[in-house]
Amino acid sequence: MVCLNFKNEKDIVSYFSQIIQILLYKLYFCYKINHKSYSVLGVNYMQFIRSNKDKILTIFFCFIISFLVLSLTSKCSFLYPFNDWVDANAFFTVGKSWFNGIIPYLDLFEQKGPLLYLIYGVGYLISNTTFIGVFILELLAWTVTLYYAYKMVILYLDKKTAYIILPLLIALITASACFVHGGSAEEFSLPFVSITLYYFLSFFKDKDISYKRLFIAGLCAGAVLLIKYTLLGFWFAFMACIFFSFLYYKNYKKAIKSCFIFLLGMGIPFVLFIIYMAIVGGVKEFINVYFVINMTSYVGTSSSLIDRAITLVKGFISAVRLNGIDKCVLLLLLPIFLLKMDISKEGKISILTTYIFTILGIYVGLVFYVYYLLPVEFFLLISLIGIFSFINKHINLTKIKGLVVVSIILSLFISYYRANYKEFRNTDKKDLFQYQFAEYINKFENPTMVNMGFLDCGVYTMANILPSTYFFEEQNFSYDRFSDNIDSFHKYIEDKKTLFIVYYTKNEEEKLKKNEPKLFENYELVMKREQEFEKDDYFGYLFLRKES
C-alpha cells in the first residue's frame, strides 16, 4: 500500500513545522543578502512579494482564520481523536483503495463523485490512518473560499469590513448543524461556488464578463459535477442569468458564445474522467452507480407537483431551523438584506435566482439530510454584505479600532462553544471501538473485513485495511429500491468471504441475532462496544470467521 511513513499526528505536525521554518529562514536569508535583487531561476521573489503584498497578506489571513476555526469545528483536526463520521470514512476508504489500484465504481461500490475520492486519496497519502491529511486539504479549500469571499466583499465595502466579515462567515457556517463533522462533499465544493459567485457579482458590477472567467466558471461546474452533481443548480442559474442578460442588451453573439465556452470548461473534467474510465473499462459502471442508482434510490415521493413543492419548502425551512436562529434569519431574510447592497435591480434578481435554483437543485429529490444545506449557507455572505452595507451608511466602521480583533475573538467563541460534537474533543482515541477493533484485527496476517449494518464506521481507516469485496459498507438505500447491497452481504456471510465482519448498528445483540442468524452461525462475536454517534447510541460488533 502507498505510504509516506507518517506514523502519527506528531510526525505530521513536525514535518510541516520544519518546512515552514525552512521557508521562513530562506525568505529572511534572501532579504538579508539582497532584498532588492535576490532571485532564483530568474524569479525575483522579494520584488514579487512587494508587488503582491496585499494579496499575500489577505491569503495568509484567510489561511490563519481557517486554521483557527476549523481546528475547533472539524473532526478532521488534531484536536479531535478521530473523525467517526461514516460518510467521511467511506470517502477515505474509496480514496485509499483507488490509490492502491482498486477502481471506484468498477471494483468498489460508492456513489459520490470521483473528484471527492481523489481529494481523500491525497489526504490518505499524507496520513494513512488519520484525517490530518484531509484536514490540511480542508484548510486549503477554506483559504480559497474565504479569499474569494473577501474579493466579493470589497466589490461593495472596504477592506477592513471584509476582514471583519470573513471570521464571522466561516464560524457561522462551520459551527452550524449542516457542517456536521467536517469533510463533506458539500464542503469541498465551496471553493468552486466561491470563485463562480465572485465572477457573478463582478459581472453585474462591470456589466461584462471575460471568456476566461466563463471558462474557469465552467471548470468549477465540471469539478462539482465530479463531486456531487445535485449542486449544479447554482451553475445552471449562473449561466442562464448571464445568457439572458446578454440577450436583453442585444449582444446575441456573446450570449451564444458564452454558453459554449462555459460548457467547454464544464465538459473538460468530465470527459477526462470518462477517458480514464474507458481505459480501465468502467464507463458503464460509473454511469450506472453515479447517475442511475443515485437518481433512482434516493428520490423521495410525493403525489403531485403542488405536494412536491409544499414538501420542498417545508423541508428547506425545517433544515434552516435546525441550523440556529441566526442562520435562519440570515437565510430566510436574504431577499431583504439583498436590497441593501449597492447593485443593480437586474443583479439583485439574478442573485436571488441563483439562490433559489441552488436550493431547488439540492432538494428537488425531496431528501433532506442535514448536511445538504451547507452550499446554501454560503449565501450567508450576501446577507452579511447587505447588513454591513446598511451599517456603513450610518456608522463609519473604519474609524472604530479593534473591530477585526473583536470579530476574530467572536468567531473563535462561536467555534469553540457551538461546534457540533464539541464534547468529542475530550475523548481518548484508545477509548474508541474503532481503535480497539483495529488493534485486534491487526494481530492477524493480511486480515480482510467487511462493514455491515451501516455506512463505513471507520475501522477500515483505523486498521489501514483495503476492502476485498465490491460492497464494503451498507448504503442508505431501502431494500425495495436497491437490493444488491444486502443480498451481497448475505452471500458474503454464507460463503465466509472475509476473515472479519464489523457490524455497526443501533440493534442490541439479541435483536441482531434474530435479524442475522447466519452471521452468528458462521462467525464468532469476539468484541462488542457501545458508543455514541450523532447524539445516539450505537453498537459496534466485531465478528471473527469460524474455521470448520
Residue 435: all three cell numbers together: 481503535
Cα separation, 153 vs 192, in Å, equals 17
Strand order in the sheet with 523-533: 449-452, 500-505, 536-545, 523-533
The full 3-state SS of 157-183, as one line of letters, equals CCHHHHHHHHHHHHHHHHCCHHHCCCC
Burial of 67 (0-12, 13-18, 19+ CB in 10 A): middle
Query: Is residue 450 a part of any domain in this protein?
Result: yes
Task: State residue 53's pLDDT score.
Answer: 85
Q: Which range marks the domain in which residue 25 is found?
A: 9-51
Cα separation, 468 vs 471, in Å, equals 9
Question: By C-alpha distance, which of 95, 93, 190 is closest to 138?
Answer: 190
SS3 of residue 496 by DSSP: coil
Query: Is residue 463 a part of any domain in this protein?
Result: yes
State how many domains the chain has: 2
Question: By C-alpha distance, which of 384, 340, 114 is closest to 225?
Answer: 114
Question: By C-alpha distance, which of 416, 443, 455, 442 is closest to 538?
Answer: 455
Cα separation, 102 vs 98, in Å, equals 5
Task: State residue 37's pLDDT score.
Answer: 47
Task: State residue 243's pLDDT score.
Answer: 97
Cα separation, 365 vs 302, in Å, equals 10
Report the Cα–Cα distance between both ends of the chain, in Å, rounded: 31
Neighbours of 440 (CB within 10 A): 17
Query: Is residue 443 a part of any domain in this protein?
Result: yes
Query: Is residue 315 a part of any domain in this protein?
Result: no
Neighbours of 410 (CB within 10 A): 14
Task: State residue 431's pLDDT score.
Answer: 97
Say which residues have a Cβ less than 8 Å from residue 179's Cβ, sequence separation at least 6: 73, 74, 173, 187, 371, 374, 420
Residue 482: which CATH number?
3.40.190
Which string of b and e fits 209-240 if b means at least 16 CB within 10 Å? beeebbbbbbbbbbbbbbbbbbbbbbbbbbbe
Neighbours of 506 (CB within 10 A): 13
> What is the reported pTM?
0.91
Pairing of strands 449-452, 500-505: parallel
Task: State residue 357's pLDDT score.
Answer: 96
Query: Is residue 160 a part of any domain in this protein?
Result: no
Query: Is residue 39 a part of any domain in this protein?
Result: yes
Task: State residue 11's pLDDT score.
Answer: 59
Query: Is residue 482 a part of any domain in this protein?
Result: yes
Residue 72: all three cell numbers together: 475547533
Residue 529: all three cell numbers together: 462496544
Cα separation, 212 vs 264, in Å, equals 11
Question: By C-alpha distance, which of 198, 114, 108 is closest to 156?
Answer: 198
Task: State residue 2's pLDDT score.
Answer: 47
SS3 of residue 39 by DSSP: strand
- Residue carrying the nine cell digits 514535518: 15
Query: Is residue 424 a part of any domain in this protein?
Result: no
Task: State residue 40's pLDDT score.
Answer: 52
Residue 250: all three cell numbers together: 442585444
**Tens-binned pLDDT, residue by residue, of the chain (548 aa):** 544 444 555 555 555 555 555 545 554 554 454 445 445 545 566 677 777 888 999 999 999 999 999 999 999 999 999 999 999 999 999 999 999 999 999 999 999 999 999 999 999 999 999 999 999 999 999 999 999 999 999 999 999 999 999 999 999 999 999 999 999 999 999 999 999 999 999 999 988 999 999 999 999 999 999 999 999 999 999 999 999 999 999 999 999 999 999 999 999 999 999 999 999 999 999 999 999 998 887 656 556 788 888 888 889 999 999 888 888 888 989 999 998 888 999 999 999 999 999 999 999 888 889 999 999 999 999 999 999 999 998 898 888 889 999 999 999 999 999 999 999 999 999 999 999 999 999 999 999 999 999 999 999 999 999 999 999 999 988 888 899 999 999 999 999 999 999 999 999 999 999 999 999 999 999 999 999 999 999 999 999 999 87
